[in-house]
Structure 1
Amino acid sequence: MPLFTDLTVQFPFGWTGIVGPNGAGKTTLLKVVTGELEAHGGLVQRSGPALYVAQRTDDPPEQFEDFIWAPDATVLKARLRVVEDWPERWETLSHGERKRAQIAVALWREPAVLALDEPTNHIDADARRLLVRALQEFGGIGLLVSHDRALLDELCSQCVLIDPPSAVLRPGGVTAALAQQDNEEASARSANDALRHTESRLKAEAQRRRVVADQKSSAMRGSKQKKIPIHDHDGRAKRNLAKVSGKDAYAGKMVAQMNQRADKMSQQRAGIEVKKRYETGIWVDGASFMPRDFLLRLPAGSLPLGDDGRQLHFPDLAIGGTSRIALTGANGLGKSTLVKHLLTHLQLPEEKCVTVPQEISAEDSRALLESVKCLPNDERGRIMTTISRLGSRPGRLLESALPSPGEVRKLLLALGIVRGPHLIVMDEPTNHMDLPSILCLEEALADCPCAMLLVSHDEAFLAKIVDTSWHLTPDKAGDAQLEIAG
């Protein structure tokens, strides 16, 4: 089944947002536009070299070494804080540092068409401000897939809203585009409801009149069975029978007219496209807090950060049965390192902890999807119900060979939810998620009765969920210090 049919769109200079749910084909569209994939039909015309920057940060970007030593790359390296030894120690970089490197190299290559897939994933607030400034200066045709509503509003003059097999181009940033879509869908639903009500009323009235006509017809047949009086010289009985027959014919004609009008209403409804909106929002069924007081107690200590001698210092740490903790701090200070350390010291069964890492490789993503496909029908059904309520289409997901990064995160979360977790640990929970999914996840975690530890740069998301902050800050020696508040 094709993702898009009869899609005609022209992208102007400046930034165009590409918006849609996980698995709808946003990445596929970027790859077709930039030539990474060939369309099955139609024509793609480009004004010059095109470049796609992927969501994943597994591998260094092409021409990274050339960029590092290029004289004309000095400004971009300084602006996005790219360090000269990064190519040699790519595996030790945080995903935020890798993302900055990806985008810096892409901007340096100056493509005519630049397609960015989730450019603000993993990036802290300071780096995001630097990135926005750099992207605003890009002079070519830019395509932007992002869950970052503020970024889409700030950069984009138009947005393509994808809902396979169709895609609609709307003016303005994502807020204006989605508002226009909501208004049009509300108008379509209202018109459809009005037509359906009229159609039902006409059919009911036609049925009522048909019953009346049948009753009169039956009465007329009964009267025919009676003999006309011999002395009925003026033919009064015959005239009465004729009147009844005439009324019966008129009633039948009215029934036919009402049915015709009802059919017209049905035809008009068929011409109105009413988008099906799937039920959203999940409740973490079976989740509960541990009866014991603490899931983790860890004495103060230190952890190494890379091979340069830097350390992450932390005080006594504890996670209670209903703790809601946010772990925050700039890129490179060791948030993911601390999470890995904490997971090895938890005091609860492994199956009672849901862990969603910052990134999942393509190979692991394929393996995860295949494992879900092989589950018993009832368990797979519960997982797919959760996937649906997080805004993705289960059928489309099960048909895919490689799920999108956002769908992989939903799969991992859904797998843990069906086990009834006592603790949910998510590293950058909103990364790769589409906008509706973020709202669903936010609602689910806010109501979840179990403990959670969320690593995120998304302050608005965290503010609605957590009550305790673990914040990493650098000290004068370059080490990271963990501070607790709340």
Structure 2
Amino acid sequence: MIRASGITLRRGTKVLLDDTSFVVNSSERLGIVGKNGAGKSTLFSLLKGELDLDAGNLEMPASWRIASVEQDIRHPSRPAREFVIDGDQGLRQLQAKREQTPDSEGHRIAELETALVEADAWTAPSRAEQLLAGLGFAPDTWMKPVNEFSGGWQMRLALARALMAPSELLLLDEPTNHLDLDAMLWLEKWLAAYSGTVIVISHDTEFLDAVARSILHFDQAKLVRYKGGYEDFLTQRAERMRQTRLAWERQTRETARLKQFIDRFKAKATKAKQAQSRVKALARMETLAPLHAEAGIDLYLPSPDSMPDPLLILDDITTGYRSEQGDTPILKNVKLMLRGGARIGVLGVNGAGKSTLIKTLAQELPALAGHYRPSKGLNIGYFAQHQLEMLDAGSTPLQHLARIAPEEREQTLRNYLGRFGFSGDMVNQHIAPLSGGEKARLALALIVWQKPNLLLLDEPSNHLDVDTREALATALAEYDGSMLLVSHDRHLLRTTVDEFWIVADGGVTEFDGDLDDYREWLLQRSAQQRAEAREEARDAGNENSNSGAGETEADRKARKRLEAEARQRLSAQRKPLEKELNTIEKKMDTLRVRLQTLDATIADTELYTDARRDERVKVLAEHGELNKQLEQAETRWLTLQEEIEALEQQFNEATQQ
């Protein structure tokens, strides 16, 4: 386990942690939350041994291997798959030693070959490919050089590299920032199957709820532990604040009473002894301070002046990119209508064309074919991450707003910026040193100043901390205009949109379902794609076998021997997976039987009488815990099924070569 005792950590003159202690148990799933700048990433640097403590003691098992996502991409010309395998440094060292060992050293070669088998050297390429596929990389990109990918995709490669590394402690700092929804769901399943300790920093509350079993909260230079996911943390912290407030109020009353007694009787000889004892009691009393919720931001989106209906019609639109070499269509034959007051979430894997659709709607990308039919009075507000880079680094928030509203009084502009978290002297600070979240807030403030009746938002919550994301969700929920939202933040989608569009297979269609239905859609689509890939592999294998009908007897024996060895490897690899699968299936059956019994108890109206209060609390608590266990078991069951299917696919590919 990790044990921190009385640690103090500073960054410059700022105290991030002051005499705080915490414990992280082996195989624990821990989420770290706190305001931007609280010290979350600095804590990771401490755990990785990159920083020294200012005071206190930090103990970690010396044998633990730590994996984390590297921010600096080295060897950018490496093929993507090889770059990911490089994450297993022990394996790479063994492979280098084997290459450098001359054939004459038979004993040494035997030792290295054994070590390579134990390190799963022969499955490393397929394991790397599974990670790449899970994180959204198409097979034809697996051998592309790293430097040919965009910055976001390079960070996905860095994440895959970290997951490839054998480790006992996995540190993930905002791992979902560059992931779309299906890659995020895949990562949740991968982490559920990971056997080591996971500590994750994330502003994505649903991701934290799915992954974390405990929360460490940066609170007034302390780390406070809460049991459960993010929603449990919110509930428990609210209760802790309430109890602390009550204790502070009681102490305030007691302090006032003691002081009143001392002031009244300290001069009277008959009461001097009692007054002195009150003075000592007052001195011994530990001063409590009420816990205050950290000041949040109250974002404000002004209502549009008018709302045409329909707002916009796309009539057989084909959109994409135009160059000297010709047109590159991304989406074809799109026929959609945007109604006044519509609140639409746009779903789809990275690269499917979500941003292309938004750019076309915003008329930043002209349609290649078809008709774009806006209504009279359409007023679009378009937010995308690239607009943060277009802010003038040498200007202030107040100067930015004054440029688009030159006739407004300065106080009006200051009041407006204050609703987006820019108050006091902040309105006169240059843009350059602002954080990504602060720049995103400013860009949004500038966009909605014009009172758009259609907001097009492409990943607006990137770089925002939890509190600001919550403020954005509240503001969007109260916004009176129409909205199209592209986001991987499921909480934001759940709380702000009423319907969904799916971008897939070069088209856009309305989706009759919610995010849970979309998850099932993704799973079914993934299973179908794997089945089609296996069918293609079988067809290719049949063609190869027909073309090789004239093989020699020696070739046939060699092929049979290789197939037998491949079957043995497959059996050895499948056996532990199938054993665990059987164990999980039995556990799921047991859980379902118990849940049926509890369901019957919960349906009994007598359970809700005062006489059975204690029983009711226990039954409901057990029901909630068993549902969590069943969900985890089902997730692991799906993961095992996919791993077994992947092994079978590898076997088929190996025997067809």
TM-score normalised by length of structure 1: 0.69
Counterpart residue number, 2:18: 5
**Structure whose alpha-carbon radius of gyration is higher:** 1
Q: Deviations over 1:22-46 (max 9, x none)?
A: 33232332234335x6457357676
Q: Which moved more, 1:370-379 or 1:126-135?
A: 370-379
* Unaligned ranges ≥5, structure 2: 1-13, 87-121, 365-371, 403-409, 514-657
Per the TM alignment, residue 102 of structure 1 is displaced from its structure 2 partner at its CA by 3.0
User: 1:312 and 1:56 mapped to 2: Cα distance?
Assistant: 34
Q: What aligned pairs does 1:394-433 form with structure 2 within 5 A after superposition?
A: 402-418=433-449, 420-433=451-464
Say whether 1:311 aligns with 2:330. yes
Q: Deviations over 1:338-363 (max 9, x none)?
A: 112222269799xx7544325788xx
Question: For the Cα contact (< 8 Å) 1:16–1:160, is it kept in 2?
Answer: yes
- Secondary structure of the structure 2 residue equivalent to 1:3: strand
Say whether 1:272 aligns with 2:297. no
Counterpart residue number, 1:117: 173
TM-score normalised by length of structure 2: 0.53
Question: For the Cα contact (< 8 Å) 2:393–2:431, is it kept in 1?
Answer: no
Q: What aligned pairs does 1:74-473 form with structure 2 within 5 A after superposition?
A: 74-81=126-133, 82=137, 83=139, 85=141, 87-88=144-145, 95=152, 100-111=156-167, 113-197=169-253, 268=285, 271-278=287-294, 280=296, 282=298, 284=300, 286-290=302-306, 292-293=308-309, 296-304=312-320, 311-319=330-338, 322-344=341-363, 353-358=380-385, 364=389, 371-372=396-397, 378=411, 379=413, 382-387=416-421, 402-418=433-449, 420-473=451-504
Question: For the Cα contact (< 8 Å) 1:312–1:481, is it kept in 2?
Answer: yes
Question: Are the structure 2 counterparts of residues 191 and 294 from structure 1 closer, same or farther at C-alpha, using a change threshold of 3 Å?
Answer: same
Q: Deviations over 1:210-238 (max 9, x none)?
A: 9xxxxxxxxxxxxxxxxxxxxxxxxxxxx
Q: Deviations over 1:125-175 (max 9, x none)?
A: 443332223223434443201234444344334332113422224444444
Give the letter for the 2:315 counterpart.
P
Per the TM alignment, residue 433 of structure 1 is displaced from its structure 2 partner at its CA by 3.7
Higher helix proportion, which one? 2
- Secondary structure of the structure 1 residue equivalent to 2:396: helix
Counterpart residue number, 2:38: 24
* Unaligned ranges ≥5, structure 1: 211-248
Alpha-carbon RMSD across the aligned residues, in angstroms, is 5.0
- Secondary structure of the structure 1 residue equivalent to 2:237: helix
Equivalent pairs counted in the alignment come to 431
Question: For the Cα contact (< 8 Å) 2:67–2:163, is it kept in 1?
Answer: no
User: 2:72 and 2:375 mapped to 1: Cα distance?
Assistant: 32
- Secondary structure of the structure 2 residue equivalent to 1:472: strand
Counterpart residue number, 1:225: none
- Secondary structure of the structure 1 residue equivalent to 2:141: coil
User: 1:406 and 1:279 mapped to 2: Cα distance?
Assistant: 16
User: 1:50 and 1:402 mapped to 2: Cα distance?
Assistant: 32
Per the TM alignment, residue 278 of structure 1 is displaced from its structure 2 partner at its CA by 4.5
Per the TM alignment, residue 54 of structure 1 is displaced from its structure 2 partner at its CA by 6.7
Question: Are the structure 2 counterparts of residues 454 and 56 from structure 1 closer, same or farther at C-alpha, using a change threshold of 3 Å?
Answer: farther
Say whether 1:34 aligns with 2:48. yes
- Secondary structure of the structure 2 residue equivalent to 1:107: helix
Question: For the Cα contact (< 8 Å) 2:85–2:128, is it kept in 1?
Answer: no
Q: Which protein has greater RCO, CA pairs closer than 8 Å, 6+ apart? A: 1
- Secondary structure of the structure 2 residue equivalent to 1:387: coil
Task: State the identity %.
Answer: 27
User: 1:204 and 1:348 mapped to 2: Cα distance?
Assistant: 73
Per the TM alignment, residue 277 of structure 1 is displaced from its structure 2 partner at its CA by 1.9
- Secondary structure of the structure 1 residue equivalent to 2:330: strand
User: 2:71 and 2:17 mapped to 1: Cα distance?
Assistant: 21
User: 1:183 and 1:266 mapped to 2: Cα distance?
Assistant: 29
User: 1:33 and 1:294 mapped to 2: Cα distance?
Assistant: 55
Q: Deviations over 1:311-335 (max 9, x none)?
A: 3125344545533222122332110
User: 1:365 and 1:38 mapped to 2: Cα distance?
Assistant: 35
User: 1:56 and 1:462 mapped to 2: Cα distance?
Assistant: 32
User: 2:292 and 2:72 mapped to 1: Cα distance?
Assistant: 31
Counterpart residue number, 2:510: 483
- Secondary structure of the structure 1 residue equivalent to 2:35: coil
Per the TM alignment, residue 447 of structure 1 is displaced from its structure 2 partner at its CA by 0.8
